[in-house]
Structure 1
Amino acid sequence: MEELPKRRHPRLKAFDYTQGWYFVTVCTAGKRKILCDVVGRGALTPPQVRLSLVGRVVEKHILRTNTLYPTATIDKYVIMPNHVHLIIAIHSPDGGVRAPRPTHLSSVVRSIKAMVTREIGHTIWQTSFYDHVIRSEADYLRIWQYMDENPVRWTEDEYYFE
Structure 2
Amino acid sequence: MMPDKFKNKYTINSARLQNYDYSQNGIYFVTICTREKEYFFGEIKNGEMNLNEIGKIAQQFWQEIPAHFPFVKSDEFVVMPNHVHGIIEICRDIDDTNNNCAKKQTFVKTQTPVETPRRGVSTIVGVSTGVGVFTNDAKTQNENQRGGYNPNWKPNSLGSIINQFKSVCTKKIRKSNCWYFQWQSRFYDHIIRNDESLNKIREYIIKNPGRWERDKNNVENLWM
Alpha-carbon distance in structure 2 between the residues aligned to 1:107 and 1:93 = 19
TM-score, structure 1 as length reference: 0.82
C-alpha RMSD over aligned residues: 2.1
Question: How many matched pairs?
Answer: 146
Q: CA deviation digits over 1:3-54, x for unaligned, max 9?
A: xxxxx985311112121000000000010011121112xxxxxx11110111
CA pair 94-80 structure 1, distance change in 2 beyond 3 A: closer
- The correspondence for 1:24, drawn from 30, 34, 38, is 30
Say if 2:201 is the partner of 1:110: no
TM-score, structure 2 as length reference: 0.61
CA pair 102-71 structure 1, distance change in 2 beyond 3 A: farther
- The correspondence for 2:195, drawn from 137, 149, 152, is 137
Unmatched 5+ residue regions in structure 1?
1-7, 41-46
Residue of structure 1 equivalent to 2:50: 50
Residue of structure 2 equivalent to 1:11: 16
User: Does the Cα contact within 8 Å between 2:32 and 2:186 map onto a contact in 1?
Assistant: yes
Alpha-carbon distance in structure 1 between the residues aligned to 2:51 and 2:182 = 15
Residue of structure 2 equivalent to 1:152: 210
Unmatched 5+ residue regions in structure 2?
1-12, 96-101, 104-153
Percent of matched pairs sharing the same residue: 33
Amino acid at match of 2:196: A
Larger % of helix: which? 1
Amino acid at match of 1:48: E
- Runs of 4+ aligned structure 1 residues displaced above 6 Å come to none
Alignment of 1:86-101 (within 5 A): 86-93=86-93, 95=95
User: Does the Cα contact within 8 Å between 1:71 and 1:103 map onto a contact in 2?
Assistant: no
User: Does the Cα contact within 8 Å between 2:37 and 2:219 map onto a contact in 1?
Assistant: no
Residue of structure 1 equivalent to 2:41: 35
